[in-house]
Structure formats: C-alpha cells, structure tokens
C-alpha cells in the first residue's frame, strides 16, 4: 500500500494536496460559530470561498469581513493568508529549484538545497529562510504603518492592529482588509500609499530576487544577478510603469477630471501596482471607465513574478513571449536577452502557460455569463474583471462578487485555486511518468496560421 | 536603384503590396459616382472600409449594399471579393509551398512548383488551377442556387443574379449580400442552408485539401493524405460540431424556445459554420444571448484552414496548441499526431500566431472601447464581437458596425488587413535578413509561470 502511495505522490501532487488541505481546514475554521460576530452566520459556501480566497492570497470576498467575522475569525483569516503567502513562496521556490536545477540562482539559495538530500533538510532550511524574511518584512511594515496610524485611530492597539493587518495584506498580496473599505480611508495619505506600494513590491517581486538582493548588499563586488532576476525585475517594473501611464492616459479628463496632479500620479501608480496582484484599493474601482477596467483586467492577467505571492501568467512568461515574437521578426532562431539565450524548454513552457491561461479565462468568462444570464446587476465588464481577478489571484473587484450565483462562485474558486497553484504545477500533477517511446514518428511539417 | 528594390522586395512584401494595391484600387472604384444609386453618396472612408472588407473577404460593412451601390458598384464589389478570395488561396498556398518546402502536400501540387523556377512559371500554373477550381465551384453553386431561386424571384435574371452572388459570397466566405438582409429570407429553407453550408466548407477547408481530395478521387489506391490535410480537416469539423452543440446548449430554452427541433438543428449548424469565417447570417445575430455571442467570438477567432479564404488563428494553430498541452501533460517532449511528429518550427509558429493574435485582439478591444466611450449605443459585447469578427475576417455583426466612430473604423480596417494577410506573412514582411551572429550566448534557464 505504502509503495503505491509513494509512487503516486509526486512533489507536484503534494503541493496540490497541501493547498486543498489548507483550504478545507480554514473553511471549517471560518465556518465555526466562534469565528462570526453575534447575529452573523456564514453558509459553508461562503466560508469555503473566503478560505480559498485567503489561502490563495486572492482577496475576492463574498462577505464584508469587518462586519461578519469575529476577532477569532479574523485571526483565522490572517493565519490563512500567512500560510498561503509563505507556503506559496517556499513551495514555489522549492519546486523550481528541484525542478530546473540549471536555474542559476544565487549560490546561497542553491546551497540550501543539497544536491541529493533536498527532499527534507533543504526544504526545512529554505522554509526557515523564507519564514524569517517574510516575518521580518511584515514586522517592519507593521511597525511603520502602525506607528503612523496612531494619528488615525484612538487606541494604540487599534492602530497597530490595523497597521499589522494592512502590512500582512500588502506583503502577502492577499488584499483583504479589516477597515471595511480597503485602503480608501487612506486614499489621500501618500505616505501610507508609498509604504503599501513598497510592501506590495516586496511580496510580488519574488523570493529568489529578495535573496539575491540581500546577497548583493552583503557582497557587492563578486556578485552577478541571475538571468531570472534580471528578466523578472525588468519586466515587473516596465509593466508597472506602462500600466500607470496607460491608466493615467485613459482616465485623464474622465475619473481624474479636476483632481490634483499629485493625486492623479499616486492613484495611477497605486492602481498599477495593486492590479499586479495585490488587490487592495484606494477607490471604488468601478468608478473607472470601461477601457481602464479592460486594461486592468489585462494587468491582472499578467500578474507578478514567479515564486512570489502574486499570480497571473507571471512576468517571465510575458517577457519570453515578447522576446520570442521579436526574435522571430528579426529573423533569429534563438531568443536572446541580457547576453544570455533562453532555453527552448522555457519557451515551450511559456507557450503552454499562455495557451492554458487564455483558453481557461475565455471559457470561464463564457460560462459565468451563461450562469448570470438572468442577473441584471451584472454586466459583461464585471464578469471579465472578476474572472481575470480570480484567475490572476488579484482580488480587485467592481463590487459584485457576492451578487454572482453559486455556480459562478464555485467556478471562481477553481480559478483562484489553479491560478494560485500555477498552471505548470497543475499540469505536472496530472502528468504521467515520462513515457519512453520505443520509436519516434517521422517529422512532417504542416501549414500554420 | 533596381537592385535595392529587388533586394527589399521579398515575396512577403509583394503579398502585402498586392493587398494594399487592390484595396486602394477598389476603394477608388467604389467611390466613383457611377458605383452609387441615385441620391446615395459614399464618403471615402466608407468606400475604403467596403473595399478593405471585400478584398479581405470579411463582409463587415458600414453601408447597406443593396440600397447604396448601383449595378456597377455591385459588380466592382463582386470583383473585389473574387480577387480577394482567389488571391488569398493562390498567394497563401504558394507562400507556404515555397516557404515550407518540406510540407508533404500532394505530388501534383508540388510538381506545379518547380524546384528552381517557382518564381513565375509555377506561380502561373498554380494560379490557373486555383482559378479553375474556384470558378468551377462557384458556377456550380450559381447553377444550383439560381435554378432553385426561380421559385423565390419573379425574373429568371434576378434568380440567377441572387443565386450567383450568394454562391460567390459563400464560397469566398466574403459574407456580403445583395438581398439587404443576408440569408434571412431563406432562413427556413433547409435546402438553401445546406447548399450554402457546403459552399462555405469548400471555401474554408483550404485549397490544398481540395486538390488532395480531387487527386484521391482519381486515384484511390496509392494515395496518402498529407498530415496537413488530416490535421486541418479533423480540427475544422471537430470545432464545427462542438460549436453547433455549444450554440444549441446555450440557446436551448432561450432563443430556441418554442422552435421546432429541425430548425434548432439547422440554425445551430449554420451559425457554427458561418462563424468560421463566412459571415452570412440567417437571423439577427444580436438576438442570441451574451454567452452565445462570446462563444461565437471565440469561434470567429479560431477561424478556418490555412491557405483557405477563411481567417482567424486557423485550425492547425489551434490543433498544435492543444496537442502541445496534451503531450506536455502526458510527459512527452515531442508532439505526435496521426503517427507523425510535429516539427518544432511549427510549434514555434503556433506560439507566435496565438500570442500575436491575442495581444492584438485585446489591445484593439481596449482601444475601441476607449474610442466609443461616449457612444451609448455600443456595449462591450458588441465591441468584442465586432473586433473578433474583423480580426478573424468573419464579417458577422450585431448590427452596430456603422455606429462606430471613424477611429474605430480605421482600427477595424487594420485588423481585417492583418487578419487577412496572416500574422506570419505580416511578421515575415517586416523581417530583416537572417542575421548570422558571430557567437552564441550561453543558455540560462529561468522560472516560467
Ligand atoms: K491578491
Ligand atoms: K468573411
């Protein structure tokens, strides 16, 4: 018996199993009466949706957290976000290290994963490092925001509670809030926005990048950043800037009409950062016009770095896609960037991630629009926005998540789950053992496109 | 001077040039006063839109053809469709034969393109074959439909005129009509629908397939269909059946409510066929509900076979995409189908076509929704439908094409143009000469997805 279990239990299936287990566990905990405020109840579907959303650090919600959950419930929620955020970073990083041994990450990272004994001891070391780094950043965020929040809240406890939750929510990119209205109360406080954007970056830029930066800071002379770090950081910030400029261009004269330039500047920056894929908001997102909501859906689909708390197709996927098109148009057969060549295997993965994501997203949008056919509240743009938000595990919403019907909620949960686990891990988990074929078929060309 | 011209004038640029020239020529011809009915005028933008739509055999239109164009104008329009349809078949087939010499098309096809002298003599032979085949099929269609139409129209001339135009429009998948309401007058005449669907198939299945079928019919014993023919035909009909079933499932109890089963059957079949990418309609498409319109947008994006009159990403692209995902999930490194292996180069092209198409489509939808921000007539689903229809050169419309503003019209023209020319040809035309690099960069892996 044990043998069959061990044989079937690939690392990928273990990851899937860990997520399923956490989601079910927290759904039960959030379902307990002790987790609710007096007079409020949750259906199991609501508890499950909240749990899936928290563990996948998405932040879509069908309940008003601050009105519905008790202190205990909020503690469970925070724990779910923490488990989700840190689990993702460590499991994600671990998988890719074991998996693509040739990824030239920093020496310190590689040492953690001993060549032959990575199964347990390396995992523990890695987890400890990630945990320390994450808790350190969160504690710093809590200290900075909490202390600053003393001017907003009456009690010291309340200020640090709000600051801590905001820091946790920003760094894990979970996007939940206990203010009842996300960051809207601080919309015009640029100091808060700046700190929150920084925390979002720290979570979304990817754990390997943080480790490399730390190593670089201690040893500037002999350090080379990996290709991964260069590609993902460049892409992340390039899309961030393009996103901010595009949001500004689309809303100039519309939502931004009559707003001071510095507020336009900070709103564009914040909205560009939060769509990738934090999910916190400083305004009612549905106040943006349709082209902006479409653009933001696209940004949510792009998402953050791999091995980070963010979702989406991820930065490197987008980068390899554009680099491949460019090198094709330039008549080159190989794809080059930063004096390196992209591995054909990584091109193949890029292709699969993009195809799978696009097909899944379009199918989900069509299905939800069928489920919500009789629902006059919900428009197509809401469905597109909500679906992109779930699949990209972003959590921004035009405010209609709880107006959707149960079939749509179930579908959104599936999207958050797959979006979180990652498409490749999902595919690897269903993957059979590599089949050695006895013979190769002849290659025959066909006409494409 | 001549040398520089010859050097810059790759076959791909010649194709682009031929399309641009035809579109400009027919825009001027349609702009002439002689092309209009008394009291009707066309702006140049309207004439250009009609010309681009006809030469690209799309069928989107900002004018009511039967009310606006004179007999001369309709003749120009028919000629533009014919030039577009036959040009596409021959140029498309020719390019792919020269280009991917290894494509194992039928011997007869290959013989036409003499190894070293394909530049002119092979082209002429190929053109003649395509022209004969196309005109033969169209004449047959005109005879069948025209004779049958005697029961619908008072004069023999009118019956054959209507039959001929419908046959031309169906076979070239152009989708224009001179009835003033597409095929709605014949919506309940299953004989007409059947003939039209057959003509649509003949145009959309691809010229190489037609040639191979002809060869098979004359020589059944020793004939093997090429991998291209097997893949494209299987995919074409598989998507056709899935599309019909899905349309039926989505509209059962809605648009189909109270309709006889045979009408539901024929409507589902016809709408599945016409979205790929004929553009004729037997009903007001906007009567379908939103999920169906989204599904149909997807079918328009998929489109028909390569080297056919249809557009879209094309069947083989879709097939290679799914086969690649499947073989990845099965743990295989090569992609197999019909006892053959797909060439990695074709996988790369599939990736590029899909990426380029998706990025272009999403950007166009966002831009048009910005252009139409103040237009209360136009909803998001209309924009998505219209954009997919233009890029997939399908020509179906929810009826709002002429409500769009001029910037949107210009953008739709660009989409029809690129959608028609094909993304790869478009990219090849901007392509520089293959650059031999003096050294190769080392490969470094990154994390994807
Ligand atoms: K999130
Ligand atoms: K068409």
DSSP string, B281-336: -SS-GGGS-HHHHHHHHHHHHH-S-TTSS--SS-HHHHHHHHHHHHHHHTT-SS-E
Chain-chain contact of B341 with A444 (C-beta, under 8 angstroms): yes
Domain layout of chain A by residue ranges = 10-429
What distance separates the 2 farthest-apart alpha carbons in chain A? 75
Q: What residue in B sits closest to A228 (Cα-Cα)? A: B446
Count each helix (H run) and each strand (E run) in chain B, helices first: 18, 3
Confidence check: pLDDT of B351 > 60: yes
Which chain A residues contact residue B295 at CB under 8 A? 366
A60: which 2 tokens? 């879509």
Q: Pick from A312, A319, A331, A448 the residue to mutate for testing the B interface (most B CBs within 10 Å).
A: A448
Give the closest-approach CA distance of B253 to chain A in angstroms.
12
What is the model's pLDDT at position A225?
A: 82
Which ligand sits nearest to residue B58's alpha carbon? 2
Determine the angle formed by the axes of helices B44-55 and B11-31, rounding to 10 degrees.
Answer: 130
A433: which 2 tokens? 């053992």
Does B326 reach chain A within 8 Å, measured CB to CB? no
Instruction: Identify which of B136, B132, B90 has the alpha carbon closest to the alpha carbon of residue B113.
Output: B90
Q: What residue in A sits closest to B426 (Cα-Cα)? A: A329
Q: With a cut of 70, list the residues of chain A below it in pLDDT.
A: 1-11, 88-127, 221-222, 431-439, 449
Beta strands A340-342 and A443-444, pairing class = unpaired
Which chain A residues contact residue B343 at CB under 8 A? 443-446
Give the closest-approach CA distance of B307 to chain A in angstroms.
8
Does A324 reach chain B within 8 Å, measured CB to CB? yes
Which ligand sits nearest to residue B300's alpha carbon? 2
Instruction: Identify which of B242, B251, B224 has the alpha carbon closest to the alpha carbon of residue B340.
Output: B224
Confidence check: pLDDT of B271 > 60: yes
CA distance A328 to B316: 19
Which chain B residues contact residue A211 at CB under 8 A? none
Give me ligand 1 centre to Cα A173, in Å. Answer: 5
User: Is A93 within 8 Å of A130 (Cβ atoms)?
Assistant: yes
CA distance A95 to B429: 42
Does B365 reach chain A within 8 Å, measured CB to CB? yes
Chain-chain contact of A96 with B441 (C-beta, under 8 angstroms): no
B201-237: per-residue pLDDT in tens? 999 998 878 878 887 888 776 677 888 889 999 999 9
Q: What is the band of B97 on the pLDDT scale with cuts at 50, 70, 90? A: low
Give the closest-approach CA distance of B289 to chain A in angstroms.
8
Confidence check: pLDDT of B299 > 60: yes
A76-114: per-residue pLDDT in tens? 999 999 888 877 666 666 665 555 444 444 444 444 443
What is the model's pLDDT at position A65?
A: 87
Give me ligand 2 centre to Cα B314, in Å. Answer: 13
Cis peptide before A277 (omega within 30 of 0): yes
Q: Across the interface, which of A356, A432, A446 has its CB nearest the CB of B316? A: A446
Q: How many CB pairs under 8 A join A and B?
A: 258
Give Cβ neighbours of residue A381 (< 8 Å, ≥ 6 apart).
A290, A293, A294, A398, B380
Torsions phi, psi for B36 (to 5 deg): -110, 155
CB atoms within 5 A of ion ligand 2 belong to B 58-59, 173, 175, 277, 279, 395
Instruction: Please give the C-alpha separations between residue B115 and each of A444, B93, B102, B109, in angstroms, as whole numbers.
Output: 19, 15, 12, 12
Which chain B residues contact residue A433 at CB under 8 A? 331
Q: What is the mean pLDDT of residues B360-379?
A: 92
Which ligand sits nearest to residue B420's alpha carbon? 2
A226-271: per-residue pLDDT in tens? 888 899 999 999 999 999 999 999 999 888 988 889 989 999 999 9
Instruction: Identify which of B421, B423, B425 has the alpha carbon closest to the alpha carbon of residue B58.
Output: B421
Q: What is the mean pLDDT of residues B71-89?
A: 86
- The chain-wide mean pLDDT, for chain B, equals 84
Give the closest-approach CA distance of A285 to chain B in angstroms.
17
Segment 159-218 of chain B within 8 Å of chain A by CB:
208
What is the model's pLDDT at position B96?
A: 58
Q: What residue in B sits closest to A295 (Cα-Cα)? A: B366
Q: What is the mean pLDDT of residues B321-332?
A: 86
Does B294 reach chain A within 8 Å, measured CB to CB? yes
Give me ligand 2 centre to Cα B261, in Å. Answer: 28
Chain-chain contact of A320 with B423 (C-beta, under 8 angstroms): no
User: Is A211 within 8 Å of A108 (Cβ atoms)?
Assistant: yes
Does A321 reach chain B within 8 Å, measured CB to CB? yes
Chain-chain contact of A103 with B446 (C-beta, under 8 angstroms): yes
Segment 110-149 of chain A within 8 Å of chain B by CB:
none
A231: which 2 tokens? 């590609």
Chain-chain contact of B343 with A431 (C-beta, under 8 angstroms): no
Give me ligand 2 centre to Cα B295, in Å. Answer: 17
> In the block, which residue shows the tokens 């009707």?
B40
What is the model's pLDDT at position A211?
A: 78
CA distance B38 to A166: 70
Segment 224-253 of chain B within 8 Å of chain A by CB:
226-228, 231-232, 250
What is the model's pLDDT at position B187?
A: 86
Does B103 reach chain A within 8 Å, measured CB to CB? yes
B18-66: per-residue pLDDT in tens? 889 999 999 999 999 999 998 888 899 999 999 999 999 998 989 888 8
B224 class by beta-carbon count within 10 Å (0-12 exposed, 13-18 middle, 19+ buried): exposed
Confidence check: pLDDT of B385 > 80: yes
Q: What residue in B sits closest to A290 (Cα-Cα)? A: B369
User: Is B203 within 8 Å of B171 (Cβ atoms)?
Assistant: yes
B401-434: per-residue pLDDT in tens? 888 999 999 999 999 999 988 887 777 777 665 5
Alpha helices in A274-343 (DSSP H): 290-302, 315-329
Which ligand sits nearest to residue A175's alpha carbon? 1
Which ligand sits nearest to residue B280's alpha carbon? 2
Q: What is the band of B125 on the pLDDT scale with cuts at 50, 70, 90? A: low
Which span out of A126-130, A183-187, B257-261, B300-304 was modeled with the highest average pLDDT? B300-304
Give me ligand 2 centre to Cα B173, in Å. Answer: 5
Rg from Cα positions in chain A? 22
The helix or strand, by DSSP H or E, that contains position B337, with its residue range, turns out to be strand B336-337
CA distance A246 to A297: 13
Chain-chain contact of A427 with B341 (C-beta, under 8 angstroms): no
Confidence check: pLDDT of B302 > 80: yes
Give me ligand 1 centre to Cα B402, in Å. Answer: 41
Determine the angle formed by the axes of helices A344-371 and B315-329, rounding to 10 degrees.
Answer: 110
Instruction: Identify which of A76, A62, A84 has the alpha carbon closest to the alpha carbon of residue A31.
Output: A76
Give Cβ neighbours of residue B396 (< 8 Å, ≥ 6 apart).
B59, B175, B274, B275, B279, B281, B285, B296, B300, B385, B389
The helix or strand, by DSSP H or E, that contains position B443, with its residue range, turns out to be strand B443-444
Give me ligand 1 centre to Cα A309, in Å. Answer: 8
A165 class by beta-carbon count within 10 Å (0-12 exposed, 13-18 middle, 19+ buried): buried
B166: which 2 tokens? 């419908």
Give me ligand 2 centre to Cα B279, in Å. Answer: 5
Does B345 reach chain A within 8 Å, measured CB to CB? yes
Which chain A residues contact residue B325 at CB under 8 A? 352, 355-356, 427
Q: Across the interface, which of B290, B331, B449 has its CB nearest the CB of A313? A: B449
User: Is B396 within 8 Å of B275 (Cβ atoms)?
Assistant: yes
Q: Across the interface, which of B226, B314, B435 has its CB nearest the CB of A330? A: B435
- How many degrees, rounded to 5, is the angle at CA B356 between CA B89 and CA A361? 115
What is the model's pLDDT at position A435?
A: 54
Cis peptide before A147 (omega within 30 of 0): no
């Amino acid at each position: 018996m044990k043998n069959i279990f061990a044989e079937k239990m690939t690392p990928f299936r273990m990851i899937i199993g860990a997520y399923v287990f956490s989601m079910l566990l927290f759904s039960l905990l959030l379902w307990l009466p002790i987790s609710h405020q007096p007079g409020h109840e949750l259906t199991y579907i609501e508890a499950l949706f909240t749990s899936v959303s928290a563990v996948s650090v998405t932040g879509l919600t069908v309940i008003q957290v601050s009105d519905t959950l008790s202190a205990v419930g909020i503690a469970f929620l925070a724990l779910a976000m923490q488990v989700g955020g840190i689990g993702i970073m460590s499991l994600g990083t671990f998988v890719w290290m074991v998996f693509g041994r040739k990824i030239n990450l920093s020496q310190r990272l590689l040492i953690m994963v001993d060549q032959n004994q990575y199964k347990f001891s390396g995992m523990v070391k890695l987890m400890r490092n990630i945990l320390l780094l994450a808790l350190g950043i969160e504690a710093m965020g809590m200290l900075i925001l909490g202390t600053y929040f003393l001017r907003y809240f009456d009690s010291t406890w309340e200020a640090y509670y709000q600051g801590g939750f905001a820091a946790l929510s920003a760094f894990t990119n979970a996007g939940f809030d206990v203010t009842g209205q996300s960051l809207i109360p601080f919309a015009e406080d640029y100091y808060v926005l700046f700190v929150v954007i920084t925390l979002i970056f720290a979570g979304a830029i990817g754990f390997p990048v943080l480790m490399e930066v730390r190593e670089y800071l201690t040893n500037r002379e002999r350090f080379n950043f990996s290709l991964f770090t260069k590609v993902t950081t460049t892409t992340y910030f390039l899309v961030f800037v393009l996103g901010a400029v595009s949001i500004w261009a689309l809303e100039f004269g519309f939502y931004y009409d009559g707003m001071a330039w510095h507020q336009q500047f900070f709103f564009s920056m914040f909205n560009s950062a939060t769509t990738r894929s934090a999910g916190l908001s400083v305004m009612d997102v549905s106040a943006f016009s349709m082209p902006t909501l479409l653009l933001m859906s696209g940004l949510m689909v792009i998402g953050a770095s791999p091995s980070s708390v963010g979702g989406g197709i991820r930065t490197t996927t987008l980068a390899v896609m554009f680099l491949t098109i460019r090198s094709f148009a330039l008549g080159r057969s190989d794809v080059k960037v930063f004096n390196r060549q992209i591995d054909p295997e990584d091109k193949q993965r890029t292709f699969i991630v993009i195809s799978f994501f696009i097909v899944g997203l379009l199918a989900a949008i069509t299905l939800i629009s069928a489920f919500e056919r009789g629902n006059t509240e919900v428009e197509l743009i809401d469905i597109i926005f909500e679906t992109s938000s779930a699949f990209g595990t972003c959590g921004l919403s035009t405010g209609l998540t709880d107006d959707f019907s149960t079939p749509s909620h179930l579908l959104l949960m599936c999207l958050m789950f797959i979006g979180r686990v990652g498409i490749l891990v999902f595919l690897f988990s269903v993957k059979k053992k590599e089949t050695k074929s006895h013979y190769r078929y002849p290659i025959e060309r066909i006409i494409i496109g």
